[in-house]
Every structure is written in C-alpha cells, then in structure tokens.
C-alpha cells in the first residue's frame, strides 16, 4: 500500500470530528435505495443537519440526476489531482452537497503517495462542511460496496416485502456479518401497504439473522407504497421538494429523526472522514 498507512497515521493525530459516515445499501437493485438516500438527506436538512452525499454506486451513479442536476466533474477528477473537493461538489436543495462518484471511486486503492495525500486532505475538509456524510452504495455484494459498508459508522439497509428482495438482503447481511460485524445495521422496509406489513417483513429478516447468523438488527422504520414517489422520479425532482406532504416523505421525515438520534447519541464514537478512510483503505 506504499505509504498510505503512514499518511493516515499522521492525519489521525489531528482532532477527531463528530461527523458520522452512514452507508445506505440494499441486497438488490430496484428497491428505492437512491430515492431514500436523496429524500433522507432533504429531511435531515430540515432538522438542521449539514449533509453531504457521496454517490458510491459505480454502475448506476445517479444521485445528481435524482436532484435534476448535471455533474460536470466527478471523484475521478479529484483522484487525478485536476480538481478540488469544492470544485467537484454540486449543491442541491437545502444546501445538500453532492459528490458525483462513478467509476472513480474504485480507483481509490491504486493511488501513489502524493495523490493519496491530496485526496485525503481534500476529503478531510468535509469535516468542516457537514455533520453527516451519506454514501449511496451500489446494490449487492460488490467488492467496493462491502468496503464502504465495513468502513462506515452505521449502515442503513433498504429492502421491500418481496421474497427476492428479502433473500438478497439476507445474503448481504451474511457477508456483512463476516466483514463488518461491528457496524450497526438499521433496516428500512420500503413500499409497504401498512405498518403490519413492515413489521412482518422485518420479523422474517430478523428471525433468520438471529437463528443462522447469531446477530441482531435495528428496525429503523418503513416507507409507504406511494405513487407520488414515481411521479417525483419522472420529474427529476425529489419527493421532499415536489410532494413534501406525501405519505412516503412523511415516513422518511420520521426515519430522519431517528438518524439524527444516531448522530447525537451514537452507540460508539464516530471516526469521521479520517476514520472512514483509514478503515476503507485497510480493506483494499
């Protein structure tokens, strides 16, 4: 890893930030992970949180599209030293920062010392910009996805009541049990008809995790199946902006209040960007 470890040790000596890194993931695509990420950020901003989103989905990087924005630069330009973090970051509604990711994210492990130092110093400035860094990961068991998840302070896993979604969610949880056993995992059940449906879905997943993985999950909440979600996606205008009174967004506002609680009273000390990068780079 060249001199990555020594660079990170030097940075780790600086004062620790209280910024938390939260990774949003799912066992399969199409369960509403990015929609939840975008609207969760909007709801958190309503609670006074300063939020930055890192688009970590290498195959379908689309956080900027969900906000109706066009990314001129991505993390790739940061990694090669062409642009600074301030130059690649987009500003969304309510002051939300958006770091377009794309294929550049996976190149983080292949940097020489000079470029790595530049990237870390740039990302380190997020400490003064945000209270929360939310990573919209890719779906499934990809190498980069699991690295992000085991380096985060908290994981929010999105699933739906569909059997295939639950099966894939369990597969990801099985991997995380081995790779990220210490990271708290919070479940959000999306597209439910009722609270009972949501609770039953969570119970099925939790029972399997307790029985076969000897682990535990936290039920963070649910989002109702709401046709206005599809309308907002087609308009490229997030639900929290276009339909803030919708039943789905009210659920997300409630979930955001719980996420704020994670930030205010974390189960363990937050490592901030430096702690996140330290764990992330060790995993490559």
Q: If you average pLDDT over each of 129-133, 138-142, 144-148, which comes out highest?
A: 129-133
CATH number for 234: 3.40.50.300
pLDDT of residue 275: 77
Residue-wise pLDDT for 180-234, tens only, equals 778 899 999 999 999 999 999 999 999 999 999 999 999 999 999 999 999 998 9
- Count Cα atoms within 13 angstroms, Cβ side, for 147: 18
Position 78 scores a pLDDT of 86
Q: b or e along 182-193 (b: 16 or more beta carbons within 10 Å of the residue's beta carbon)?
A: ebbbbbbbbbbe
Q: What is the pTM of this model?
A: 0.85
What integer pLDDT is reported at residue 267 of this predicted model?
Answer: 36
DSSP-based three-state secondary structure for 190: strand
Sheet holding 97-99, edge to edge: 90-91, 97-99, 51-56, 132-137, 20-26, 154-159, 185-192, 218-224
Domain around 92: 4-283
Structure tokens at 186: 């919070």
* Pairing label, strands 185-192, 218-224: parallel
Domains contained in the chain, number: 1
pLDDT of residue 261: 77
Most confident of 51-65, 96-110, 179-193, 240-254: 240-254
d(C-alpha 211, C-alpha 18), whole Å = 35
What percent of the chain is predicted at pLDDT more than 90?
54
177 class by beta-carbon count within 10 Å (0-12 exposed, 13-18 middle, 19+ buried): middle
């Amino acid at each position: 890893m060249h001199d990555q470890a020594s660079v990170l040790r030097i940075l780790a000596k600086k004062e620790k930030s209280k910024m938390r890194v939260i990774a949003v993931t799912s066992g399969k695509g199409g369960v509403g992970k990015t929609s939840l990420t975008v609207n969760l950020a909007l709801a958190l901003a309503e609670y006074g949180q300063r939020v930055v989103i890192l688009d970590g989905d290498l195959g379908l990087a689309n956080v900027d599209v969900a906000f109706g924005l066009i990314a001129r630069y991505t993390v790739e330009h940061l990694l090669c030293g062409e642009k600074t973090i301030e130059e690649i970051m987009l500003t969304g509604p309510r002051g939300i920062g958006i770091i377009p990711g794309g294929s550049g994210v996976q190149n983080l492990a292949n940097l020489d010392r000079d470029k790595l130092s530049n990237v870390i110093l740039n990302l380190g400035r997020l400490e003064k910009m945000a209270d929360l860094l939310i990573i919209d990961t890719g779906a499934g068991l990809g190498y980069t996805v699991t690295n992000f998840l085991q380096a985060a302070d908290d994981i929010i896993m999105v699933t739906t009541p569909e059997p295939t979604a639950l099966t894939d969610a369990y597969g990801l949880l099985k991997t995380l049990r081995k790779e990220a056993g210490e990271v708290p995992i919070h479940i959000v059940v999306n597209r439910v008809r009722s609270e009972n449906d949501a609770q039953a879905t969570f119970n099925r997943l939790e029972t399997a995790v307790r029985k076969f993985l000897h682990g535990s999950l936290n039920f963070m909440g649910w989002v109702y199946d709401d046709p206005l979600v599809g309308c907002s996606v087609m308009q490229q205008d997030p639900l929290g902006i276009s339909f803030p009174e919708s039943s789905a967004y009210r659920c997300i506002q409630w979930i955001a209040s719980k996420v704020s609680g994670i930030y205010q009273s974390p189960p363990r000390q937050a490592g901030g960007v430096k702690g996140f990068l330290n764990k992330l780079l060790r995993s490559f």
